[in-house]
Amino acid sequence: MSSPEVVIIGAGAAGLMCALTAAARGRRVLVLDHANKAGKKILMSGGGRCNFTNMYTEPANFLSHNPHFCKSALARYTQWDFIELVCKHDVPYHEKKLGQLFCDRKASDILQLLLVECSEAGAEIRLDTAIEQIERTDTGYRLATSAGEFACQSLVIATGGLSIPTLGATGFGYQVARQFGHSVLPTRAGLVPFTVTDPQLKALCAELSGTAVEDCLVSCNGQSFKENILFTHRGLSGPAILQLSSYWQPGDTVHINLLPHIDLPEWLAEQQRERPNSELKTLLAELFTKKMAGLLAEQWFVSKPLKQYTPAELNAVAERLADWTLIPAGTEGYRTAEVTLGGVDTREVSSKTMESQKSPGLYFVGEVLDVTGHLGGFNFQWAWASGHAAGEVV
């Protein structure tokens, strides 16, 4: 039986950060993953450019049943620490917007730097390895795997969430958590497009598939995001919708202000005064694409020359554009979700070290925990910070 001091299950963002940190301390580290490649999600992330952190990372950017949990790790390994690592490896990057940092070239630059750090520090990574059984022993843990048996003092679970099973996601981390007496909070897909089934709405979304509307204000359950929305064949997507999906529960109404930057009642009244013979459709085409203007004028309003609208009718137009309400039928689910909400209950894990309070020597890092970031590089920052926190002590 081979005996590394630390075994990390999961060669994703959090597992690799934990491995390079622990190995740099001189620990004998073995990373096991069932996939045929390390860091598959890193490679897919940010449209292939990996939004690896966010300059404005704060605890308020994370959802958790225990909102204070993320603070300690985020404060001890910050976005600036990761940026320093990126600079050390001469990886060119840029801010896209809102503090979101992306690789100039490709996401593999980030994976490569993690693998180089792991290799230089002496951490071993074994892929294509299925974990069959885990047992507690007097001195730590024993693992039976498809690559043989391993014993270790510290066992780190870095198996991520359920999003995108085709990239290797499994519920294995939750299973291990339960095995050692942990509670797992209900999981659901987050940062995920909405689907619609109402026939008229579905037809509108399908007709406008691919059309984006910039800087909409979307709200639900007291949370609002101002960003772009995107119509899809199945419903609605785009950054504003993805952000909101993490706060949405089935049955909830979503409010969309399509033009939050315009005082619509005032603007419409002004247009009516200045160009009374213009049709509403023509006016809307100055704000949206021609196709969208035509469809909205047809489906939501009766398009006629502005002079023919009563003040009450104009107000109704303003209200519809400023507060389009809809109830999504659901989300696209784990198939396309960027993250999994819920997971291992952080109230049973040390916020300083990520160690289990139920089973000494067992650690949970990354997305498997009930900590989920907003869209914009926050989920990787959580993976780096939590992986580092455990890597310092395992």
Contact window for ligand FDA (CB under 6 A) among 30-38, 236-244, 303-311, 356-364: 30-38
Min dist. Cβ of residue 29 to ligand FDA (A): 15
Pick out residues in 111-140 that bind ligand FDA (CB under 6 A): 131
15 is an interface residue for ligand FDA by CB under 6 A: yes
Q: Is 195 in the site for ligand FDA (CB under 6 A)?
A: no
For ligand FDA, the closer of residues 45 and 64 by Cβ is: 45
**According to the binding rule CB under 6 A, does residue 168 interact with ligand FDA?**
yes
Among 163, 245, 246, 257, binds ligand FDA (CB under 6 A): 163
Minimum gap (Å) between residue 310 Cβ and ligand FDA: 49
| Piece of the chain touching ligand FDA by CB under 6 A; list 43-51, 231-239, 246-254, 279-287 | 43-51
Q: Name the H helices within 263-329.
A: 264-274, 280-284, 290-299, 311-322
Rounded to the nearest 5 degrees, what angle is found at the Cα of 94, between the Cα atoms of 91 and 98?
140
Reduced to 3 states, what is the DSSP secondary structure of residue 328? coil
Can residue 41 be called a binding residue for ligand FDA (CB under 6 A)?
yes
C-beta of 248 vs 334, nearer to ligand FDA: 334
Residues 6+ apart with CB under 8 A from 116: 89
Helix-, strand-, coil-residue percentages of the chain, each rounded to 5 = 35, 25, 35
Q: Which of residues 329-358 bind ligand FDA (CB under 6 A)?
A: 338-339
Calpha distance 272→277 (Å, rounded): 8
Contact region for ligand FDA (CB under 6 A) — 59-67, 167-175, 251-259, 272-280?
167-175
Q: Taking Cα atoms as reference points, which of 358, 363, 359, 357 lies closest to residue 393?
A: 363
Q: What separation in angstroms does the CA of 128 have from each of 29, 37, 45, 125, 264?
A: 17, 8, 22, 10, 58
Token reading at 129? 């390895």
Angle at 117 between CA 116 and CA 120, to 5 degrees: 80
- Pick the binder of ligand FDA from 4, 8, 21, 33 (CB under 6 A): 33
- Helical pair 69-76 and 378-391, crossing angle rounded to 10 deg: 80
Q: Which residues contact 308 (CB under 8 A, 6 or more apart)?
A: none
91 binds ligand FDA (CB under 6 A): no
* Contacting residue, 24, 44, 184, 206, with ligand FDA by CB under 6 A: 44
Binding site residues, ligand FDA, CB under 6 A: 9-15, 33-35, 40-41, 44-46, 50-51, 131, 158-160, 163-164, 168-170, 172, 338-339, 366-367, 377-380, 383
